[in-house]
Amino acid sequence: MDFRIADTFTASLGRLQLDEQKAVKTTAFDLQLNPENPGHQFHKLDRAKDKNFWSVRVSRDIRLIVHRTSESLMLCYVGHHDDAYAWAERRKIETHPTTGAAQIVELRETIVEIPIERYVETPAMAQPIRHKPLLFEKVPKDELLGFGVPPEWIADVLAANEDSLLELVEHLPSEAAEALLELATGGVPTVATLPVLPSPFAHPDAQRRFRTVENVDELALALDFPWDRWSVFLHPAQKSLVERTFSGPARVAGSAGTGKTVVALHRAVFLAKHNPDARVLLTTFSDALANLLESKLFLLVRSEPKLAERIQVLSMRQVGERLYRAQFGNPSFADLETIRLRLDAAAGPTIGSKYSLRFLVSEWTDVVDAWQLRKWEEYRDVRRLGRKSRLGEQQRAGLWPVFQGVLDGLAAEGKITESQMFSKVTSSLPERKSPPYDFVVVDESQDISIAQLRFLAALGALRANALFFAGDLGQRIFQQPFSWLSQGVDVRGRSQTLKVNYRTSHQIRSQADRLLADEVADMDGIVETRAGTISLFNGPQPEVRVFQSEAEENSAVAVWLKSLVAQGVAAHETAIFVRSANQLDRAKAAVEQSGLQSYVLDELLQTKEGSVSVGTMHLAKGLEFRAVAVMACDDEILPLQARIESAADTTELEEVYNTERHLLYVACTRSRDHLLVTSAGSPSEFLDDLLAP
């Protein structure tokens, strides 16, 4: 007998209390080991339209809904008695007549009517009320069926407009919902031609929601790592990007929650599977995000350990250090304070009276070291992208001895910067018989540095499929913009933007998007647009609240946390983010006042069962929670006053404001369902943007 788990089961399991979840897991193990055991207390659901639905008693009030046939047993849903029974009475499992995929179909007659605006003529009106255009009225019914729309929902789809679409798709199977959303945003859904399959559960669309579990170990893994579809699951709209052959470097973009990391993960796995002897690198800009990528890759390839061995997951810095160490020995890095002291000493009173130390540090970091300038002629001729200050040749000639002195001093001590490390590794690549990696997949590519991109270009810019990037310019928080084309990486014609948000509710996404421009262009003229992006689901309206004092803010956040617990949101599904470590105590105080435990996030980005995660906005990247509070959004904290004062010129000041906006955007879009943004005293000017209509 086949034993299966539906995604609706894992989703409902996550909504129960921890002690209830443990009891459900025990029952699930017992069912798998011996489904015929009379002690399971199967109860036939007479009111269910699907006669294969049964309930199984877990405890006095918890019921497990299973789909039971002579060939299989499937866990479908779990909840309190009335909730579980109501779920089963409103659904059936059937094979779609066109696609052949097994689906969980919500029964049409039990759904509240979706209001559709119509022309209404009244005596006071000379003209009828104009309703919004129907989105799919010209789409043939056979085509809608081909997308997986259940026959009983065709009429509702044909009557849908942009106001009713989001509510409608919540009731449809995922493949149908995604196809309709792609149509609504101007895309063209693809329908694959499949061979005859042995079972409706073997269809790729069915395998998205029904998992066959072979043994107790697989069941334990499935229950411990409930499949978060927006975390590791590949959606058909993204599949073509994963499997496409690219003649050169390619890039996938998209706003937060559109599945860029999902595409990157699957791209790495696809390349490893179809190139058995290849070495595949999956990388990102920070150690913390690399750790997170590795944990998600484990979920994806846990049943194929040999495949996992051929995919190396490292941060870009770790890649550089490994290759440098193998070629030149252990690197000795110069920290920023050392650079600062050397610049101050090299400038002396003459240069120091003309240029501030802040300007010299900025010029070193963003120009000299970033672009790896080693000669006066290189500094004289460099295009100072992102720098407002106009330095003529005479001014640059006066500054170069300062930077040359720092370079000579570091060389004498045997110290290097990270950019120097990558520069040296890049120059050594031609000496190798073969590249260290055959394929490289880069996640969060908007924050890789110039030297890192040069290394990647030397590694595979001229080889098909060798370089694949995933990123969002709207989430760039560490690097100044620069031209990829100038560094040998040309993604023109091989760049695509994802439009469907799988992680964040429509309300949170649309409000967070107010922080950013509708369109963002990179230095090579490639435009990323947020227009047309759509979320898969609705949720509560985000709250933006300004308080008179920190005490009032703490109390309000504590009440908010308590209300979430009352709604069934677990503590570990909740996070509080602040701008920097100086505000962590405010967040911890709010958690303490709520009666919950807090856990401060570190570079491992691991949450703790039973605790609210507390961390800085910089650590929010890559994480997802059901609920997020962004606290201490005060004037002079966001944007951070110290960064504003450190700006060397007006262009750098604009860059500071941009990256501070991006930070708030990143923090807000970590939430799936609930978002609270607060300040105490004078609020950040960014809150006005969040509240703008």
At 378-410, the pLDDT tens digits run 998 887 654 555 678 888 999 999 999 999 999
Percent of the chain with pLDDT over 70: 92
pLDDT in tens, 242-295: 999 999 999 999 888 888 998 999 999 999 999 999 999 999 999 989 998 998
Q: If you write DSSP's letter for every residue of 596-623 in order, what string do you get?
A: -EEEE--TT----TTEEEEEEGGG-TT-
* pLDDT reported for residue 224: 66
Q: Which of the four pLDDT bands, split at 50, 70 and 90, describes residue 205?
A: confident
Lowest-confidence region among 80-94, 143-157, 509-523, 578-592: 509-523
In a 13 Å sphere around the CA of 65, the CA atoms on its Cβ side amount to: 31
Neighbours of 120 (CB within 10 A): 9
pLDDT at 668 over 70: yes
Q: If you write DSSP's letter for every residue of 627-640 in order, what string do you get?
A: EEEE---BTTTTTT
The dihedral sign for the CA sequence 162, 167, 173, 178: positive
Q: For 422-435, what is the mean pLDDT?
A: 93
Q: For 177-200, what is the mean pLDDT?
A: 80
* pLDDT reported for residue 481: 84
| 659-692 core/surface letters (b: 16 or more CB in 10 A; e: else) | bbbbbbbbbbbbbbbbbbbbbbbebbebbeebee
Strands (DSSP E) contained in 33-89 are 42-44, 53-57, 62-68, 72-80
pLDDT at 127 over 90: no
* pLDDT reported for residue 126: 47
Residue 575's H or E segment, with its range, is: strand 574-578
Q: For 498-523, what is the mean pLDDT?
A: 86
Neighbours of 112 (CB within 10 A): 6
* pLDDT reported for residue 110: 47
Instruction: Identify residue 646 by its one-letter amino acid code.
Output: S
- Dig out the tokens for 29 from the structure: 């193990």
* pLDDT reported for residue 130: 52
Q: For 548-560, what is the mean pLDDT?
A: 97
pLDDT in tens, 613-662: 999 999 998 889 999 999 999 999 999 988 888 776 777 788 889 889 99
pLDDT at 444 over 80: yes
pLDDT, the chain, mean: 88
Bridge-based pairing of strands 439-443 and 519-521 is unpaired
pLDDT at 463 over 60: yes
| Length of the chain as a residue count | 693
Q: Which of the four pLDDT bands, split at 50, 70 and 90, describes residue 188?
A: confident
* pLDDT reported for residue 693: 65
* pLDDT reported for residue 33: 86
* pLDDT reported for residue 393: 87
Q: For 536-563, what is the mean pLDDT?
A: 94
pLDDT at 192 over 50: yes
pLDDT in tens, 314-331: 999 999 999 999 999 999
SS3 51: coil
Lowest-confidence region among 46-50, 515-519, 631-635: 515-519
Close Cβ partners of 51 (under 8 Å, ≥ 6 residues apart) = none
Percent of the chain with pLDDT over 90: 60
* pLDDT reported for residue 122: 47
In terms of pLDDT, which residue wins out, 669 or 356?
669
- C-alpha to C-alpha distance for 501 and 533, rounded to whole angstroms: 7
pLDDT at 38 over 80: no
pLDDT in tens, 211-237: 888 777 767 766 765 544 445 566 655
- Dig out the tokens for 183 from the structure: 């149509």
* pLDDT reported for residue 228: 47
Strand partners, 634: 683
* pLDDT reported for residue 339: 95
> If DSSP states are collapsed to H, E and C, what string results for 89-144?
HCEEEEECCCCCCEEEEECHHHCCCCCCCCCCCCCCCCCCCCCCCCCCCCCCHHHH
In terms of pLDDT, which residue wins out, 664 or 198?
664
> If DSSP states are collapsed to H, E and C, what string results for 210-258?
EEECCCHHHHHHHHHCCCCHHHHCCCHHHHHHHHCCCCCCEEEECCCCC
pLDDT at 111 over 50: no
Neighbours of 397 (CB within 10 A): 13
pLDDT in tens, 66-104: 999 999 999 999 999 999 999 999 999 999 999 999 999
Helices 236-243 and 260-274: crossing angle, nearest 10°?
50
- How far the first Cα of the chain sits from its last, in Å, is 56
pTM of the entire predicted model: 0.77
